[in-house]
Structure 1
């Protein structure tokens, strides 16, 4: 025979004074007889108890969120230090960029002030005279031999710094000058080192020597034709390390100034009459 389940009375509930009883409200609202309900078992509302041998430790919520367990404390400190390290690195990069930008601005301001105060200009060059040996008719007839040509060219080059009223030019050592015809180099030599004050023009003696120079048949034919016509075009190229001087203290860094001069001579032996067609110098803005 099955066991009979007996209903368990529900615990009394509190109600307000103006609130009617639950059974009266349920039966009086619609005029129906009250119905009996079976309440839940008391163990359903009872909190779950831990198994035997265990303990419940109540930890504050803020401590749970802020304090990691001991086995992960090292990893927590490492992860927590990353944002601070990144902030320090970002701050150091920003400070370095700002300092570099400030230095560049100060350098640009200083260069602009010096340029406006001194108004520097590039020196001008011209070929005053030429003396040529080793390019006579006998030498040109044997230019295709095994020994080749050994031309010697002495040039008087005029360096004019008259455009600068407050800026001196310092020509450093290691410069070179070369003379060529139709792309073929004939002779080369060193550029003399000296200091040129403002408003000064100096004529320099430059000695150029060549050895084993061989001309092609086309170049020899053209050179002979130009010599017969009395107008041989030559090209002189100079590469000179130059440094500008502002007063007695301030100097610029050393830069290589390149000049190219077109010269026409009437003959190829002895003291010749040179007609300089102008020299082109790299613009001064490149120096800065």
Structure 2
């Protein structure tokens, strides 16, 4: 009896597609199929993750930029110190100004300082000839009256270097010194000073005008004074030296006589300028 051969079932054909779950396993072991926006992928086995705080990452620069970082970080501190110094200096200056203003105000209220008054007591003129053709050398003796009667508590120190001048029709005739002396409160002082001039040349028009004024018995003259003055409050307190300017318009009937004059105009700076 012949052996019978039974056909074996054919093996299943090889499939090109992997079994289910194989792709997911391969993708997990290698790289993700698409980027995830929900978080970082889990680390592979044997990997350690060290988390650094965000502020520490931002505040600790790399070693190669540490110097520049330190310089840039120090700028705000320097600016703050500079602003504080400027504010402190401004406040100090403002405080000193307020204290000085308060001090001047108190002194003014206590002493009530007033400017002195001046007048010309007499004039004696020699060497002024209206008919002279050559240059003139006038000689003038002037008596000036300084009145400090308006000040009850304030003395006046007339410093050296003051000057008194006499002019006619805008032409300077002679000049002399203002003496230095101290004038007590409520004091009136009359002093004499010698004025000298040289090389004075009057124009033809000025000569004619001077001759007419002499014939009429009214020769107008201007007496100007610039005097360095310092106020004295009590025995210790004194102000800075300030120039006081005075101008006296006088009229004499003769060139050697007492003038007919009014009170001189005095120009002085305000009290706050004296400090």
Pair in the same fold by TM > 0.5: yes
**Residue 99 of structure 2: aligned partner:** 106
Q: Specify every segment of 5 or more residues in structure 1 that has no aligned partner in the other structure, as ranges.
A: 12-37, 50-54
**Residue 195 of structure 2: aligned partner:** 208
CA displacement 1:176-218 (0-9 Å, x = unmatched): 0100011110000110000000010000111110000011111
**Residue 127 of structure 2: aligned partner:** 134
Measure how far apart 1:61 and its partner are: 2.7
1:122 and 1:284 in contact (8 A); partners too: no
Measure how far apart 1:273 and its partner are: 2.5
**Residue 281 of structure 1: aligned partner:** 266
Aligned-CA RMSD value: 2.5
1:161 and 1:200 in contact (8 A); partners too: yes
Measure how far apart 1:57 and its partner are: 7.5
- The partner residue of 1:218 within 205, 208, 214 is 205
Tell me the distance in 2 between the aligned counterparts of 1:113 and 1:91: 33
**Residue 257 of structure 2: aligned partner:** 272
**Residue 157 of structure 1: aligned partner:** 144
CA displacement 1:13-39 (0-9 Å, x = unmatched): xxxxxxxxxxxxxxxxxxxxxxxxx98
1:121 and 1:164 in contact (8 A); partners too: yes
TM-score of the superposed pair, with normalisation by structure 2: 0.83
- The partner residue of 2:154 within 164, 167, 190 is 167
TM-score of the superposed pair, with normalisation by structure 1: 0.79
Tell me the distance in 2 between the aligned counterparts of 1:5 and 1:142: 144
Task: Indicate how the Cα distance of structure 1 residues 7 and 228 shifts in structure 2: closer, same or farther if over 3 A, else same.
Answer: farther
**Residue 196 of structure 1: aligned partner:** 183
Aligned residues: 247
Task: Indicate how the Cα distance of structure 1 residues 9 and 225 shifts in structure 2: closer, same or farther if over 3 A, else same.
Answer: farther
Tell me the distance in 1 between the aligned counterparts of 2:149 and 2:244: 18
**Residue 116 of structure 1: aligned partner:** 109
CA displacement 1:58-89 (0-9 Å, x = unmatched): 64433211100111111111111111111111
Q: Specify every segment of 5 or more residues in structure 2 that has no aligned partner in the other structure, as ranges.
A: 1-13, 34-40
Does the residue aligned with 1:81 lie in a helix, a strand or coil? helix
**Residue 24 of structure 1: aligned partner:** none
* Superposed counterparts of 1:177-256, under 5 Å: 177-256=164-243
Measure how far apart 1:272 and its partner are: 1.1
Tell me the distance in 2 between the aligned counterparts of 1:272 and 1:40: 135
2:155 and 2:233 in contact (8 A); partners too: yes
Does the residue aligned with 2:262 lie in a helix, a strand or coil? strand
Does the residue aligned with 1:278 lie in a helix, a strand or coil? coil
